[in-house]
Structure 1
Amino acid sequence: MSNLSVPLLKALGPWRNAKAWHVAFSGGLDSTVLLHLLAQLRQTHSLPPLSAVHVHHGLQAAADAWPAHCQALCDALSVPLQVVRVHVQAGASIERAARDARYQAFVAVTQAQEVLLTGQHRDDQAETLLFRLLRGAGVSGLGAMPRQRRMGNGDLCRPLLDVPRVQLEAYARAQNLSWIDDPSNTQTDFSRNFLRHEVFPVLSRRWPQAAASMARSAAHCAEAQGLLDELAQQDLHDASAVGEFAWLNLPSLELAPLVRLSAARQRNALRHWLAAFTPLPDTDHWAGWDALRDAREDAQPVWKLAAGELHRAGSRIWWLSGEWLLAPVGPVPWARPDQALALPGNGRVGFVGDIPDGPLQVSYRQGGEVMALGQRGHRDLKRLLNERGVPLFARGRLPLVYRNEQLLAVANLQGLDSSPCGRWQLQWLPT
């Protein structure tokens, strides 16, 4: 058994009962060694079904020959190979675009309870740390590549992250393996290649253990980030009480528990919460949070982020994205009020109880609406919404049911959503 086999099996211990292992197989040194090691280990150990996935980016002519090379090795090892061709979007960073396309392909291949195995090694981890350090990354970024993480419906694992490249190369030569040398890896106009070919040789001559030390620092940062995540979960728990308008089905937090925290803990908690919804701003662009937090109670401030907006309304902050940032389309005729009505871009609305006589239609606020409220007479809708503290961003989306020119009901608002005698109630399930 190779001296790489024992640490590899240990790293893969949590995944021994997975439904399948897929190796991200570029044909390069690291993925070739990983695939060969696993193919050898399955002869003496009970492992999940093993396959390989080669992503063809089509970015250079030389790459057209790589699927055949990968197929030949997989045939020799009796490992099934899937070749996935992807289109790389043009943009400022071809490296990032290629990586995004590659991982989209991996997500599509890796199903629930399956694992994608990649061959990144210790030198890659050191490069990642230095690259992110030069970009001003925080603790999370300086944790570099995680050993494992969720990926789509499955998981991603990097079992060789503690192994130096020189050890992988020694194994490959001892086993007479051949691998692909990507010509683009020598182009030092790519930032990572510049670090690999121009910076790391100098560092290693002065500090021979530089890569090992950097990888160790990345592990320390990853551990520190884990502690920050635990602190964020505690702080968010205190701010996660269900509010009056939980039926909006929007992510929201109570503001007061956040404001009681130090500024650093506020940012830490919000980073943790927002990471599920949007790419996060860098340190220089957190002034938007300060402005939203410190605004007057009646100011209805908004912080615009990459994938949506954070709104402050009442005593809470709310995350809005997608259709919530667009005006709903109306009016919508309701020909069959005995059935729920799908509202374009705005969920569904339906009656509970008896059905009011028609003809009915659903519309949205335009301003100046008046509603008859029995003993209270005719009341301005704006005032009624103010009395109930309806968040400003939700007012233009509340379904209003009309019969001819008469406003019959406003969905989901007690006292406004039902007939005077309570024979029916208008319920809205937002998008």
Structure 2
Amino acid sequence: MTLQRFVDNALVNHMPGRVVWVALSGGLDSSLLLHMVAPLARRHGIELRAIHVNHGLQAAAGDFELHCRELCQALAVPLSVAHVEVEPAGRGLEAAAREARYRAFAETLAAGDRLWLAHHADDQAETLLLAALRGSGVRGLAGMPATRQWRGIQIERPWLTLSRSDLVREARRREIVWCDDPTNVETMFDRNYLRAHAMPPLRSRWPRLAEVVGRSAAHLQEADELLGELAAIDLAAAGGDPERLLLTTLRILSPARLRLLVRHALQSQGLPTPPAKRLAELERQLRAASGDRLPAIAWAGGEARIWRDHLFLMAPPVAIDPEWQRSWDGRASLETPWGVHSWSLRPWPHDPARPVLQVGLRRGGEAMRLAGRGRRDIKRLLQEVGIPPWQRDRLPLVWHGDELVAVLGALTAEGWRQTALPIPAAAQARFEDDG
């Protein structure tokens, strides 16, 4: 099958109204992809756009951007350029750049759009080998999927079964101009080292290396899908909420299934999984903890707590300012420095002009008048309704004049009503790494 046929087949099942985006770096692979997609998209009546992410990490970044602008102008393809800041923060430069790149994709593309990446079979082989060298599990060894849903965007890699040599031959035949990344020769980066020093002798010994490794990645992707189905079954049995799992269910699982469920619950929230030692300690705590204990296990980007016969999995809490306060109309979601609270609040049954509400945090000694119960201490009420201790000091308290009328998401005073609002999409979105 010719390269053109690969691209044409990928466009056949296009849904009307969706946009196809090509992630254009300016290198050989993505430049060739755009060259081949542009006339086919016009033939099929498909809207085609390109996105270039300028990481600003090298002197040649401006040249890459200029090349992409000139290429898109020549092909009459609209181009979006995203300038991003890469902040390694202990994750490594490559991982941080990838995160910034995907953040740019999420901010530029709309739900339902298709994003085409020009990864090929040699990239897939490198990804699997790097994952093996890092001790990754099934998901990491499964490499890059040919297609997947990510934040409502359909990510596709139409060339994942083709070798780079196929792409080079086609690019030269078409006399396509591209930019060579000067950092590709810097073997301080793991992928570059593998590409320069490990892949050539392996390919010399096993000429079909990329094809064979690609088949292994496909088998592992199937295994990962099956493990995901098993984890979903166990999640349903543990209550269905990935943030709050029943200990009674967790304790009857085998160690392997328990670890699988914890990883699945964390990934469902977009949170990183703990390293092996932290996961082992979490398992030990799960087996030993009584229902009212509060052991906490933390790792980079995540935290686990046990309370009232449940395992809570969450992101590390954001520091709060106990003096924080603001006014609120009670109608729209309340935004705070540590999150969005999607509740409305109004007098009930009477609803006069919008009341002026003040919002702050607990300072101790607050009380609220409840229907049929009179005034009650907030501390005891939060215990009664089952709010975990680590969440109590960050729940917004809402005042109407001198009267405490609500604790958002937990308690409502007599004469008032809280109503849940749809959660804003921006509050739900979390970054997911897609290789």
Task: Give the TM-score range, shorter chain.
Answer: 0.7 to 0.9
Structure index of larger Rg = 1
Structure 1 distance, partners of 2:131, 2:35, is 31
Q: Which residue of 1 aligns with 2:278?
A: 285
- Corresponding pairs, count: 412
* 1:299 corresponding residue in structure 2: 293
Any idea what SS the aligned residue of 1:317 has? strand
Are the equivalent residues in 1 in contact too, given 2:289–2:306 (CA < 8 A)? Answer: no
Identity of aligned residues (%): 39
Matched, 1:265 2:244: no
Partners in 2 of 1:341 and 1:230 — Cα distance?
A: 34
Q: Between 27-36 and 189-198, report the one with greater CA deviation.
A: 27-36
* Secondary structure of the structure 1 residue equivalent to 2:103: helix
| Residues 1:391 and 2:388 aligned together | yes
What per-residue deviation string (whole Å, max 9, x for no partner) do you get for residues 135-188 of structure 1? 010000011112122344422211100000111111111112222111111111
User: What is aligned with 2:70?
Assistant: 72
Q: Deviations over 1:14-44 (max 9, x none)?
A: 445452111111221111221122124236x
> Once the 2 structures are TM-superposed, how far is the Cα of residue 134 of structure 1 from its aligned partner?
0.4
Aligned partner of 2:158 in structure 1 is 159
Separation (CA, whole Å) in 1 of partners of 2:156 and 2:85: 25
The residue number in structure 1 matching 2:197 is 198
Helix, strand or coil at the partner of 2:30 = helix
SS at match of 1:113: coil
- Whole-Å separation in 1 of the counterparts to 2:63 and 2:217: 36
1:81 aligns with 2:96: no
CA distance in 2, matches of 1:63, 1:340: 42
- Deviation per residue, 1:113-145 (Å, 9 max, x gap): 211111010000000000111001000001111
2:303 corresponds to 1:309: yes
Deviations 1:195-217 (A, max 9, x none): 00100011112222222211111
The CA distance in 1 between the partners of 2:327 and 2:206, in whole Å, is: 75
- Cα distance in 2 between the residues matched to 1:188 and 1:254: 47
1:24-63 equivalence runs, <5 A? 24-42=23-41, 45-63=43-61
Deviation sequence 1:249-272 (CA, Å, 0-9, x none): x93222222222111111111211
Residue ranges of structure 2 left out of the alignment (5+ in a row): 352-356, 424-435
Structure 1 spans left out of the alignment, 5+ residues = 243-249
Q: Describe the SS at the equivalent of 2:256.
A: helix
Give the distance between the partners of 2:331 and 2:86, measured in 1 at CA: 45
The 8 Å contact of residues 245 and 311 in structure 2, kept in 1 or not, is answered as: yes
Distance in 2 separating the partners of 1:341 and 1:104: 24
What's the TM-score once normalised by structure 1's chain length? 0.79
Cα RMSD after superposing both structures: 4.0
Helix, strand or coil at the partner of 1:42: helix
The whole-number CA distance in structure 2 between the counterparts of 1:108 and 1:342 is 23
Scaled by the length of structure 2, what TM-score is found?
A: 0.79
Rounded to whole Å, the distance in 2 between the matches of 1:381 and 1:108 is: 41
| Aligned-partner residue type, residue 307 of structure 2 | A
String of CA shifts for 1:300-356, please: whole Å, max 9, x gaps.
22232433433322132234447x6555746979999x999969668466554479x
1:313 alignment partner AA: W
Distance in structure 2 (CA, Å) of the matches to 1:65 and 1:333: 47
Q: Identify the residue that residue 245 of structure 1 maps to in structure 2.
A: none
SS at match of 2:44: coil
Distance in 2 separating the partners of 1:14 and 1:306? 41
Which residue type is aligned with residue 390 of structure 2? F
8 Å CA contact 1:411, 1:426 repeated in 2: no
Q: Is the 8 Å Cα contact of residues 16 and 48 (structure 1) preserved in structure 2?
A: no
